[in-house]
């Protein structure tokens, strides 16, 4: 981690994966690239959730990337599907994010629209505690915040 000079003391500066490379488009590429992008996104969210979400939603391809996350929520690999639910729920925690998520849920013209809830409910049935909690948290966030924003 690099350091920034703040007068007399040095402060660590967080380096994000999106600082090094625009990996968001990888979310809609082949499965292997999508998984790498998902891992980067989870890591960046842990570094600075608000900044990463703002950067993600400001990207010109963000709606396609959200659909890529929806596709990954249906993955057989529980780490991938659980992390996708976590990312989806984390994005939904912001005013802009919940608007986008509700837009996806109500987009009847997109073939994956109905799959969002199907994937989340399937994760609720998982024996993996982390997947179950990510799905439950995501559903709860969407339900509560869709009424507030």
What does the block give as tokens for 136? 């439950």
The rounded distance, in Å, linking the Cα atoms of 119 and 11 is 42
| Residue 1, pLDDT score | 47
Give strand pairing partners of 4: 11
Q: Which residues pair with 12 in a beta bridge?
A: 3
Query: Which pTM was predicted?
Result: 0.88
For 66, phi then psi, to 5°, come to -65, -40
Nearest to 90 by CA among 131, 41, 132: 41
CA distances from 7 to 1, 4, 10, 14, 107 (A): 19, 9, 8, 18, 51
Helix (H, G, I), strand (E, B) or coil at 48: coil
Reading the chain (149 residues) residue by residue, the pLDDT tens digits are 444 445 556 555 568 999 999 999 999 999 999 999 999 999 999 999 999 999 999 999 999 999 999 999 999 999 999 999 999 999 999 999 999 999 999 998 898 999 999 999 999 999 999 999 999 999 999 999 988 76
pLDDT score, position 14: 67
* pLDDT at site 20: 93
pLDDT value of position 13: 59
Percent of the chain as helix, strand, coil, to the nearest 5: 70, 5, 25
Q: Which residues contact 107 (CB under 8 A, 6 or more apart)?
A: 113
Give me the pLDDT at residue 146, please: 83
Question: In whole angstroms, what is the distance from residue 110 CA to residue 48 CA?
Answer: 31
Q: What pLDDT shows up at residue 12?
A: 58
């Amino acid at each position: 981690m690099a350091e920034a000079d703040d007068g007399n003391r040095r402060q660590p500066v967080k380096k994000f994966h999106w600082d090094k490379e625009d990996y968001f488009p990888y979310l809609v590429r082949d499965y292997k690239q999508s998984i790498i992008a998902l891992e980067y996104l989870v890591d960046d969210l842990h570094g600075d959730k608000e900044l990463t979400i703002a950067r993600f939603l400001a990207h010109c391809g963000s709606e396609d990337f959200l659909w890529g996350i929806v596709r990954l929520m249906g993955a057989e690999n529980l780490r991938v599907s659980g992390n996708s639910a976590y990312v989806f729920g984390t994005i939904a925690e912001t005013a802009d994010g919940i608007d986008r998520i509700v837009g996806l849920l109500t987009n009847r013209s997109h073939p994956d629209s109905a799959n969002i809830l199907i994937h989340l409910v399937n994760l609720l049935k998982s024996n993996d505690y982390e997947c179950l909690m990510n799905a439950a948290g995501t559903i709860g966030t969407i339900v509560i915040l869709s009424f507030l924003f």
